[in-house]
């Protein structure tokens, strides 16, 4: 049973100066400083447990998300955790449908990122109180309770609560075996760490060599800024990994629809499994057109990390606009909204291959995809979870990768908690790291 | 020629306690306090002119938009106004594609509202320097220059720069006559002031009587919270205005897709021209399904006030999801992005009927729709602009309504400037009005 009244909610602006090393650079985000609006929830329960929630940002603007968290805080403060999770759908609706605040969303952009950070903290706290890692809390929940966490508003034409329960009920069979499989083998991952756009060819080769030694078999390369550059880099990486291993490409929204089709026709010789984010994340019909054009070339379309809510995912599925669906643990409204997307993907038979990387996205999303395998999809076919080898050292319960697979977390909670000294050191603009950097820049 | 270097950009949180009178209340926004993030731009030019920009909000969250304006400010400060408007597409792209900030959008929600406020101020300043009301600045601009203000990214599959120029070029004929027509007759309007959801039947009747006396022939009623209530209110208003006058209905996103179709089948007897915002503003395919279902009943679908960018409008047009397109002067990226939507609507032959009301939305959008008539659509068929009789007294150049038509503004600028004493009095939380209200609430 969830317990305690929420007595305190704080939000912190924590930034890592990743732009200094071109880590995370792509065709649209040339100099990201991986950052997070980091939420801490405290209650008056005697257990003294705290809930931690993150949402991912790229540096500037983190303070705007922190401001939005504070605007939402009155909906959380002084609430009983039992009441929150006891009517989780109602609480989700309250956060996302505040009669005044919804105007500056609704359920998109800054306010939705803030909602994610708060709800991630609630789930972390709940799982800690239950003494389970989040994935296990979800796996052990009965279908009716799981469904009651989901707001079906605007998706009931595609997925009703009854259908959600049926899908979950059907998968009760075999759950134990799949859980055991996860615990021994883990969930398959792919790496994006080798081929950021800002890396030199030499660095790319070196990282690729290391990754191959480490047992990685699936690689993603950033493309979209310069065609000649792409041809050279894609050729280089395909040569290094050989014809059998899997290569994915990611354009990070660089193209218009006709351009995406032309560009990928040129890169098709390198046999990519998918092209990720070929155009605007808002362009459902554009993704559908690209999917149709690239299908004869054997290239699928993947998107999701910037799809702002379940209504967009619903339509991407309705329009057959993607062949790989990429959920994100921090852009959607936390576990609640991601549950609805996992269930819709199952209904449409589309594999979910989560977006991760950034700060903590690997830590969080592993819980969702492990739950998905055990309770929803029951399949590993065409499925894998992104992995990026950055910033895990700042987390109290970092991911564990073994033979290119995510091993299920065993600690209670949602793996969202950061090390206290990291939060202090990287806080913006007052942490040690930033005081020095800003002073060096004369700011 | 635009002149001066931007030396100062300030953003103010200004709120009007409209919730006290249930003004603006609808099925989703039960207690709005009409508000604005109010931007002031100053330059070092000797003319001493200032640019004012607003974006509309509903109270809480205005501080979040102000925070986002400040995050965008470095892109504006110390720039020459001539460089900004001389490469307006480039400047638009810079504001909306900041490599770090775009993550918390992109081009949606809080950051896009902030972008609108800043760009609205730039347009106001530019028009003031040219000594023309904004609509006239646009009307007098040659097609090539107008098109150069538009970012065609993500819409080039539907509208290219060449097509935009062609549309504008074709309409050069007859421009003088249409401008003269606007100056004498004005642009037709409809009223939403009579039938907010929170108003009593008596108040509704009284306001309706007054509006009929004032020459209004088109009325909008809020629906969607309670069916019996809707039937009674719609019957009442249809009785009062008679069978010939035009009635529109607005559900403010209250329904799921199947519910929208059922509900409107019941209200069809009151012969509405359109149902506005029947469901989520993100649901393009949902609006298309509703459009198809309601077409046999003679009811069109209208939407737009919460459609967050041109990519959504592009798809609404592609999917034939709406029969009336409602631009908003403060949610899209100002004049620049609205130009692209007006041109796409023209290409698809869909009438534009702007959203207005709130704070200053009437003042701003009249410029866009008058320009649309003179230079783009060249038609008044099925077209009208929303009007709400609130808060105009706070503006230095308030709208002028004559015989239920908007008369074209004659003062230079974008009509965005508020009275200094209003800004001071309604500033949140330190203005006189709020200090008293908050003290009365014990805050």
Mean local confidence (pLDDT), A31-46:
97
Scan residues 278-337 of A and list those with Cβ closer than 8 Å to B. Answer: 279-286, 289, 306, 308-309, 311-312, 314-315, 318-319
DSSP label at residue A44: S
Q: Is residue A22 within 8 angstroms of chain B, CB to CB?
A: no
Strand A218-222 to strand A187-195: parallel, antiparallel, or no bridges (unpaired)? parallel
Which residues of B are marked as active site? 222, 355
* pLDDT at A442 exceeding the cut of 90: no
Distance from C-alpha of B46 to C-alpha of B201, rounded to nearest angstrom: 55
Helices marked H in B214-333 — which ranges? 227-241, 257-267, 284-294, 310-318
Tell me how many helices (H) and strands (E) chain B has. 17, 12
Closest Cα in chain B to A316? B285
Strands B35-43 and B50-57 come out as antiparallel
Mean pLDDT, residues B175-202 taken together: 93
The torsion region of residue A164 among left (phi > 0), alpha (psi -120 to 50) and beta comes to alpha
Q: Which residues contact B289 (CB under 8 A, 6 or more apart)?
A: A157, B257, B261
3-state percent helix, strand, coil for chain A, nearest multiple of 5:
45, 15, 35
Q: Which residue of B has its CA nearest to A312?
A: B282
Q: Kindly tell me the burial class for residue A443, based on how many C-beta atoms sit within 10 Å of its own C-beta (0-12, 13-18, 19 or more).
A: exposed
* pLDDT over 80 (residue B22): no
Q: Which of residues 83-142 of A touch B (CB under 8 A)?
A: 97-113
Indicate the SS3 state at residue A155.
coil
Question: What pLDDT was estimated at residue B25?
Answer: 81
Model confidence at A24: pLDDT above 80: no
Mean pLDDT throughout B380-402?
97
Residues 6 or more apart whose Cβ sits within 8 Å of residue A369: A187, A327, A352, A354, A383, A385, A406
Q: Is 90 exceeded by the pLDDT of residue B20?
A: no
Instruction: Tell me which chain A residues have a C-beta less than 8 angstroms from the C-beta of B65.
Output: 104
The token pair at A243 is 């014809």
Average pLDDT value for residue range A134-146: 98
pLDDT tens-digit series, residues A336-361: 999 999 999 999 999 999 999 999 99
* Beta-sheet pairing, A300-303 with B187-195: unpaired
pLDDT at A25: 81
- Asked if B106 and A306 come within 8 Å (Cβ–Cβ), the reply is yes
Q: CA-CA distance, A70 to A39, in Å (whole number)?
A: 10
Helix (H, G, I), strand (E, B) or coil at A355: coil
Interface of A with B in 202-221 (CB under 8 A): none
Interface contact flag, A285 B280, Cβ < 8 Å: no
**A265-320 pLDDT tens trace:** 999 999 999 999 999 999 999 999 999 999 999 999 999 999 999 999 999 999 99
Min Cα distance A132 → chain B (Å) is 31
- Mutate which: B99, B197, B313, vs A, most A CBs within 10 A: B99
Q: pLDDT averaged over chain B?
A: 96
Q: Per-residue pLDDT tens for A378-433?
A: 999 999 999 999 999 999 999 999 999 999 999 999 999 999 999 999 999 999 99
- Across A358-406, the runs of DSSP E, i.e. the strands, are 385-387, 401-402, 405-406
Q: How many CB atoms lie within 10 A of CB A181?
A: 15
Encode pLDDT of A100-114 as tens digits. Answer: 999 999 999 999 999
| Alpha-carbon distance B312 to nearest alpha carbon in chain A (angstroms) | 7
Residue A308 Cα, gap to closest chain B Cα (Å)? 9
Q: Which helix (H) or strand (E) holds B194?
A: strand B187-195
Chain B touched by A65 (CB under 8 Å):
yes
| Residues A187, A373 contacting (CB under 8 angstroms) | yes
- CA B190 – CA B186 distance, rounded (Å): 13
pLDDT of A328 over the 90 cut:
yes
Question: Residue B196 — pLDDT band, cuts 50, 70, 90?
Answer: confident
User: Of A123, A122, A149, which Cα lies nearest the Cα of A136?
Assistant: A123
**CA B92/CA A319 separation, integer angstroms:** 31
**Catalytic member of A23, A222, A308, A390:** A222
Supply the pLDDT for residue B437.
Answer: 94
Q: Name which of B157, B285, B309 is nearest A258 (Cβ-Cβ).
A: B157
Q: What percent of chain A has pLDDT over 90?
A: 94
Position A272 scores a pLDDT of 98
Instruction: Decide if pLDDT at A10 tops 80.
Output: yes
Cβ atoms B379, B372 nearer than 8 A:
no
> pLDDT value at position A20?
87
- Do the Cβ atoms of A311 and B99 come within 8 Å? no
* Residue A99: predicted pLDDT: 93
Residue A443: pLDDT band with limits 50, 70, 90: confident
User: DSSP letter at B272?
Assistant: -
Domain boundaries of chain A, sorted by first residue = 175-420
Task: State the residue for tokens 């999801």.
Answer: B321
Secondary structure of residue A54 in the 3-state scheme: strand
Q: Which of the 8 DSSP states describes residue A427?
A: B
Asked whether A190 and A385 are in contact (CB, 8 A), the reply is yes
What's the pLDDT score for residue A265? 98
Identify the bridge partners of residue B80 per DSSP, sorted by sequence position. B5
Class of the domain covering B175-420: alpha beta
Q: Which of B119, B6, B10, B7 is nearest to B423 (CA)?
A: B10
Contact across the interface for B57 and A103, Cβ inside 8 Å = yes
| Tens digits of residue pLDDT in A247-275 | 999 999 999 999 999 999 999 999 999 99
Give the distance from CA A109 to its chain's centroid.
15
Chain B nearest-CA distance from A401, in A, is 27
CA B155 – CA B317 distance, rounded (Å): 12
Taking the CB of residue B302, how many other CB atoms lie within 10 A of it?
25
Query: Mutating which of B24, B61, B115 best tests the A interface, going by the most A Cβ atoms within 10 A?
Result: B61
User: For A334, which DSSP code?
Assistant: H
The residues near A192 (Cβ < 8 Å, ≥ 6 apart) are A220, A222, A250, A357, A386, A387, A388
A355 is catalytic: yes
A12 SS3 class: strand
CA distance B99 to A252: 12
Chains A and B form CB pairs within 8 A to the count of 198
Q: Does B54 touch chain A (CB under 8 A)?
A: no
CA distance B7 to chain A (A): 19
Distance from CA of B431 to the nearest CA of A (A): 20
> Inter-chain contact B315–A284, Cβ cutoff 8 Å?
yes
Residue B324 burial (10 A CB sphere; 0-12, 13-18, 19+): buried
Determine how many CB atoms are found less than 10 A away from the CB of residue B335: 30
**Predicted-complex ipTM score:** 0.97
């Amino acid at each position: 049973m969830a317990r305690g009244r929420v007595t305190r909610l704080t939000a912190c602006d924590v930034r890592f100066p990743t732009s200094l090393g071109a880590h995370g650079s792509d065709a649209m985000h040339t100099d990201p400083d991986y950052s997070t609006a980091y939420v801490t929830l405290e209650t008056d329960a005697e257990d003294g447990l705290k809930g931690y929630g993150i949402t991912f940002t790229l540096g500037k603007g983190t303070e705007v998300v922190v401001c939005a968290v504070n605007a939402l805080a009155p909906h959380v403060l002084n609430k009983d955790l039992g009441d929150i999770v006891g009517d989780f759908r109602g609480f989700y609706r309250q956060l996302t449908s505040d009669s005044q605040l919804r105007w500056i969303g609704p359920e998109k952009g800054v306010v939705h990122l803030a909602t994610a950070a708060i709800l991630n903290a609630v789930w972390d706290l709940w799982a800690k109180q239950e003494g389970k890692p989040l994935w296990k809390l979800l796996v052990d929940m009965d279908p009716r309770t799981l469904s009651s966490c989901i707001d079906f508003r605007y998706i009931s034409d595609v997925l009703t609560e009854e259908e959600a329960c049926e899908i979950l009920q059907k998968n009760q069979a075999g759950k134990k075996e799949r859980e055991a499989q996860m615990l021994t083998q883990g969930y398959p991952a792919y790496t994006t760490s080798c081929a950021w756009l800002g890396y030199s060819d030499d660095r790319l080769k070196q990282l690729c060599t290391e990754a191959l030694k480490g047992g990685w078999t699936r690689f993603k390369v950033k493309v979209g800024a310069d065609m000649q550059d792409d041809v050279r880099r894609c050729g280089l990486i395909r040569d290094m990994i050989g014809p059998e291993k899997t290569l994915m490409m990611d354009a990070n929204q660089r193209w218009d629809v006709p351009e995406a089709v032309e560009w990928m026709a040129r890169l098709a010789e390198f046999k990519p499994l998918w092209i990720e984010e070929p155009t605007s994340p808002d362009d459902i019909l554009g993704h559908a057109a690209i999917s149709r054009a690239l299908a004869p070339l054997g290239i699928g379309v993947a998107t999701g990390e910037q799809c702002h809510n379940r209504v967009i995912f619903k339509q991407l599925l309705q329009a057959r606009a993607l062949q790989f669906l990429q959920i994100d643990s921090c852009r959607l409204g936390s576990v609640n909204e991601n549950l609805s997307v996992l269930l819709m993907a199952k209904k449409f038979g589309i594999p979910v291959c989560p977006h991760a990387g950034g700060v903590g996205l690997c830590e969080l999303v592993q819980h969702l995809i492990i739950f998905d395998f055990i309770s929803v999809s029951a399949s590993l076919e065409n499925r894998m979870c992104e992995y990026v080898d950055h910033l895990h050292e700042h987390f109290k319960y970092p991911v564990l990768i073994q033979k290119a697979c995510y091993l299920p977390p065993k600690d209670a909670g949602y793996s969202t908690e950061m090390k206290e000294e990291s939060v202090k050191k990287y806080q913006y603009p007052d942490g040690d790291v930033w005081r020095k950097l800003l002073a060096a820049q004369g700011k």
